[in-house]
A and B are shown apart, each in its own frame.
Chain A
């Protein structure tokens, strides 16, 4: 059984966390459900409580390519916080998912109304979601597990 673990919400100071949770409603999704598509309006976001969600892009001729998966505790969606409020990637559940769901417009309004709350949420999104994923993306860019000296995209196999 999966329960809440340290993650996005744990990184928020408790007063701000409680405040954010007043804006949450509980949501549940079946597996293989498309949550949003690249380019669509980023009008919602979620904090996952259980299950996993894949972030993907679609490339004609290659199909849907999974870029990263998110698990319990993680923030799903940050494009809602920054203009133009459009999704940069698509998302699809891999397993049944339980999550806190947030209405982006309401959270943005709360952020604008209370700068201290706004700063806390923004810092948390920047550190826990964007910063961590940027570090992860850079590490993957290094293609660490390939055989030394082989360019990314090759198997590294010796003929």
Chain B
């Protein structure tokens, strides 16, 4: 990095300046804001749009915004969306084809330049989720070039967590609440007798250069220590935990567990968990033509493994039962993701728990599988 300062203390005016500075660099700034009774991700043009004074109350199948007396902007945890909404959009045209009178046709690759985003308020679990999707979509032999272009242009401002939610378990998954690299700027928000301050560190040259443009508050060595202590304390206040076992092995060894029947009896196979999950990446191809029939387009859209069509073969779906579809989702997320992409697919953000309409809790299911395996219940024979 250059010789520019790599740490600084910012105030709320510094946050407003950060949004302005990123916008001035031609970036679309996306961050949290309160809308429709939730803290959502949206384009920000002004620091006042940040959710100052708002927190969230989370439980399985439950989400409410709650006012906070301390005025903190980042004392909330994962909301209904994640950054994949921007990096791996719900629906995207990949190419189009036009047919001439002689029947021959030509393909045009999607030409619109990818947007240059700045993400403000990425939580450490979500930072890991972005890294996980990087491996899936850009890490193999066939990189998704449009994903990669959006990703390479994105400027990431991480905000560490000091206030974990009741459905959070990033400490179990080793993904938070501290950020340990992979960002342009990292912030820790501290509201105390010293005022409302952000301890900021640059993680890249561009991060340092942006940081240098912002108004700084006086240096305070105690702030860094206090910020670290708050994040360390947050690790001990997680609302949920995963069983302390090798989850990949647990998933592999419990494919025949009775617990899958239990959860299948509750699961609506609605797919909300897959839409809310920051790492779920599955898509379907959609081919459309216009009324002339001579212009065709290829779109790809988010798809859920809970959809019956997901595993469709000419004779019918491979995973016809809800049991097999929940099992596919959970074992992929916690187990076979390691085989496919070298890491867990779960980052412990808790969104799937919050946004499940019947409150299915992946940590509770994992504990139940762990208990059933320990009791010698699995592996058994599947129902005959």
Q: Do chains A and B touch in the complex (CB under 8 A)?
A: yes
Residues of A within 8 A of B (CB): 147-149
Q: Which residues of A contact B37 (CB under 8 A)?
A: none
B313 at the interface (CB under 8 A from A): yes
Q: Which residues of A contact B315 (CB under 8 A)?
A: 148-149
B293 at the interface (CB under 8 A from A): no
CB distance from A155 to the nearest CB of B (A): 16
Interface residues of B in 270-325 (CB under 8 A from A): 313-316
**A148→B313 CA distance, assembly (Å):** 9
Q: Which residues of B contact A148 (CB under 8 A)?
A: 313-316
B315: nearest chain-A partner, CB-CB: A148
CB distance from A144 to the nearest CB of B (A): 10
CB distance from A141 to the nearest CB of B (A): 16
Q: Which residues of A contact B316 (CB under 8 A)?
A: 148
CB distance from B343 to the nearest CB of A (A): 37
How many positions in chain B have a CB within 8 Å of any CB in the partner chain? 4
CB distance from B311 to the nearest CB of A (A): 14
**A148→B317 CA distance, assembly (Å):** 12
**A23→B314 CA distance, assembly (Å):** 53
Q: Which residues of B contact A149 (CB under 8 A)?
A: 314-315
**A149→B314 CA distance, assembly (Å):** 8
Q: Which residues of A contact B314 (CB under 8 A)?
A: 147-149
**A116→B247 CA distance, assembly (Å):** 53
**A156→B271 CA distance, assembly (Å):** 35
Q: Which residues of A contact B313 (CB under 8 A)?
A: 148
CB distance from A64 to the nearest CB of B (A): 33
CB distance from A45 to the nearest CB of B (A): 36
**A116→B314 CA distance, assembly (Å):** 51
CB distance from A105 to the nearest CB of B (A): 43
**A50→B39 CA distance, assembly (Å):** 80
**A147→B315 CA distance, assembly (Å):** 8
7 A-B pairs whose Cβ atoms sit less than 8 Å apart in the complex = A147-B314, A148-B313, A148-B314, A148-B315, A148-B316, A149-B314, A149-B315
CB distance from B277 to the nearest CB of A (A): 32
**A149→B313 CA distance, assembly (Å):** 11
B314: nearest chain-A partner, CB-CB: A148
**A28→B315 CA distance, assembly (Å):** 47
**A55→B92 CA distance, assembly (Å):** 60
CB distance from A152 to the nearest CB of B (A): 14
**A148→B318 CA distance, assembly (Å):** 13
**A95→B313 CA distance, assembly (Å):** 42
CB distance from B292 to the nearest CB of A (A): 27
**A147→B314 CA distance, assembly (Å):** 8
**A32→B315 CA distance, assembly (Å):** 41
CB distance from B261 to the nearest CB of A (A): 28
**A39→B74 CA distance, assembly (Å):** 87
**A148→B315 CA distance, assembly (Å):** 5
A149: nearest chain-B partner, CB-CB: B315
CB distance from B144 to the nearest CB of A (A): 31
CB distance from B308 to the nearest CB of A (A): 16
CB distance from A124 to the nearest CB of B (A): 29
CB distance from B369 to the nearest CB of A (A): 34
**A148→B316 CA distance, assembly (Å):** 8
CB distance from B315 to the nearest CB of A (A): 4
Interface residues of B in 312-343 (CB under 8 A from A): 313-316
B313: nearest chain-A partner, CB-CB: A148
CB distance from B367 to the nearest CB of A (A): 40
**A147→B313 CA distance, assembly (Å):** 12
The 7 closest A-B pairs by CB, nearest first: A148-B315, A148-B314, A149-B315, A149-B314, A148-B313, A147-B314, A148-B316
Question: Interface code B344-374, partner A: CB below 8 Å = 1, 0 otherwise?
Answer: 0000000000000000000000000000000
CB distance from B143 to the nearest CB of A (A): 34
CB distance from A149 to the nearest CB of B (A): 6
A147: nearest chain-B partner, CB-CB: B314
Q: Which residues of B contact A147 (CB under 8 A)?
A: 314
**A64→B313 CA distance, assembly (Å):** 37
CB distance from A31 to the nearest CB of B (A): 40
**A32→B98 CA distance, assembly (Å):** 62
**A43→B73 CA distance, assembly (Å):** 94
**A149→B315 CA distance, assembly (Å):** 6
CB distance from A71 to the nearest CB of B (A): 31
